Amino acid sequence: MSIDFGELTFSFTPTRTMFIARCELGDEWQPGELQPFQNLELSPAACVLNYGQGLFEGLKAYRADDGRILLFRPAMNAARLRAGCRRLSMPPVPEELFLSAVRDVVSENSDYIPPNNDGALYIRPLVFGSGAILGVAPAPEFAFLVYASPVGPYFKGGLSPIRLLVTRDFHRAAPKGTGGVKAIGNYAPGMLPSSHAKRKGYAEVVYLDAVEERYIEEVGAANFFAIFGDTLVTPALSGSILSGVTRDSVLQLAAERFGLKVEERDVSIDEALGADELFCSGTAAVISPIGCINYEGQDHQFSGGEVGPRTRALYEALTAIQHGDAPDEFGWVVEV
Ligand code: PLP
Ligand code: COI
């Protein structure tokens, strides 16, 4: 293996081992096993290929300076995956199966974890309808798989402000749809808006709500935050946005470490354009400052295009806990 950890981007590098477990419809999940990383064999009539019955998760393993391997709040990913399984008519993966599969994949591939501050091992759990079916109905068989890839930053340049484009041409999710779960089918429709934004020089799109086209939902695959003075505001979990693990952590850090007032509520684009600082959060995105937002053809700058002081403080506090550089009074990190 020869990986230049210092040069990592958010792209796929296979590792040695993956985990796979199976479950028949109406039955319990089998214990599953580690296997060499390999291609899958699937029927062309597999439910996931034809009807998109599938979910994914994303979490990271970090290597602390003292050599410990740390996961960040993996039980939250396990719970979100179970909620998604119920929404997509798949048997929920038990928490213990999820956590032991993640731990085993990380341990078996521990030499692929970049040194502290060079990146992380991104862990990708998947659940999908692997069995063949022609009518639109749950698959007769399901697979739960965990693979991993060493990664660097999601947005180029680490903690440097990104430029975003508010789209009124596309919505990500509708009320009562599947935006609140990590359904695989939520992501391909975002590729076209994202490529339009990139062509115009923006890193991603900001989606507005599908009813009034007025309230901010999310940034591609990250949650949105605005800071007004001592108040941190983020869109409420209405069902059409993802309940981010990072989002929840940022809200707790902001309130408990920094004494900010936190509000989960509707944030209109007009209100957001008057914010002191903006950022977005996610496992891949970490905390990414937003330096500019284009709305209706006009660029609006935030924090003078620099990283805002509160955004930087939240980034430093969060990553210090994740990387094992600071005490974790929340009990978030789990040693492998
Ligand atoms: N929103 C969407 C649509 C996502 O795909 C993600 C990524 O997982 C997030 C938000 C951020 O969630 P988390 O912080 O759990 O990674
Ligand atoms: C994550 O942050 O884990 C995500 O799922 C983002 C991804 C779609 C790249």
Distance CA(225)–CA(278), nearest Å, equals: 6
Q: What's the CA-to-centroid distance between 121 and ligand 2, angstroms?
A: 13
| Domain identity same for 172 and 315 | yes
| Domain identity same for 222 and 119 | no
| Domain identity same for 221 and 120 | no
Residue 138 near residue 47, CB atoms below 8 Å: yes
The domain boundary residue, chosen from 151, 186, 216: 151
Residue 113 near residue 106, CB atoms below 8 Å: yes
Q: Whose CA is nearest to atom 9 of ligand 2?
A: 284
Atom of ligand 2 nearest to the CA of 220: 8
Residue position matching structure tokens 């210092």: 6
Is 125 inside any structural domain?
yes
Is 13 inside any structural domain?
yes
| Domain identity same for 12 and 60 | yes
The domain boundary residue, chosen from 151, 176, 192: 151
Query: How confident is the model at residue 9, as a pLDDT?
Result: 86
Query: How confident is the model at residue 165, as a pLDDT?
Result: 98
The domain boundary residue, chosen from 151, 186, 213: 151
| Domain identity same for 226 and 128 | no
Residue 13 near residue 148, CB atoms below 8 Å: no
Atom of ligand 2 nearest to the CA of 244: 2
- Which two structure tokens, joined as six digits, stand for 335? 């040693």
Is 327 inside any structural domain?
no
| Domain identity same for 108 and 190 | no
Question: Nearest-CA neighbor of 272 among 188, 207, 180, 332?
Answer: 207
| Domain identity same for 28 and 137 | yes
Is 65 inside any structural domain?
yes
CATH of the domain at 247: 3.20.10.10
Q: What's the CA-to-centroid distance between 255 and ligand 2, angstroms?
A: 25
Catalytic pick from 60, 156, 182, 200?
Answer: 182
| Domain identity same for 256 and 166 | yes
Query: How confident is the model at residue 118, as a pLDDT?
Result: 82
- Which two structure tokens, joined as six digits, stand for 304? 């003078």
| Domain identity same for 122 and 259 | no
Q: Whose CA is nearest to atom 6 of ligand 1?
A: 221
Residue 204 beta carbon below 6 angstroms from any ligand 1 atom: no
Is 333 inside any structural domain?
no
pLDDT digit string (tens) for the chain, length 336 residues:
678 888 888 899 999 999 999 999 999 999 999 999 999 999 999 999 999 999 999 999 999 999 999 999 999 999 999 999 999 999 999 999 999 999 999 999 999 999 887 889 999 999 999 999 999 999 999 999 999 999 987 766 668 899 999 999 999 999 999 999 999 999 999 999 999 999 999 999 999 999 999 999 999 899 999 999 999 999 999 999 999 999 999 999 999 999 999 999 999 999 999 999 999 999 999 999 999 999 999 999 999 888 999 999 999 999 999 999 999 999 999 999
Residue 154 near residue 282, CB atoms below 8 Å: yes
CATH of the domain at 112: 3.30.470.10
Give the number of domains in the chain: 2
| Domain identity same for 181 and 308 | yes
Residue 39 near residue 91, CB atoms below 8 Å: no
Domain span at residue 206?
162-322
Residue position matching structure tokens 């994914």: 56
Distance CA(265)–CA(288), nearest Å, equals: 21
Give how far Cα 3 sits from Cα of 37, 62, 140, Å: 17, 16, 40
Query: How confident is the model at residue 116, as a pLDDT?
Result: 83
| Domain identity same for 203 and 113 | no
Catalytic-residue membership of 182: yes
Is 331 inside any structural domain?
no
Is 334 inside any structural domain?
no
Distance CA(313)–CA(187), nearest Å, equals: 31
Distance CA(192)–CA(205), nearest Å, equals: 10
Is 230 inside any structural domain?
yes
Residue 282 beta carbon below 6 angstroms from any ligand 1 atom: yes
The reported pTM is 0.96
| Domain identity same for 36 and 171 | no
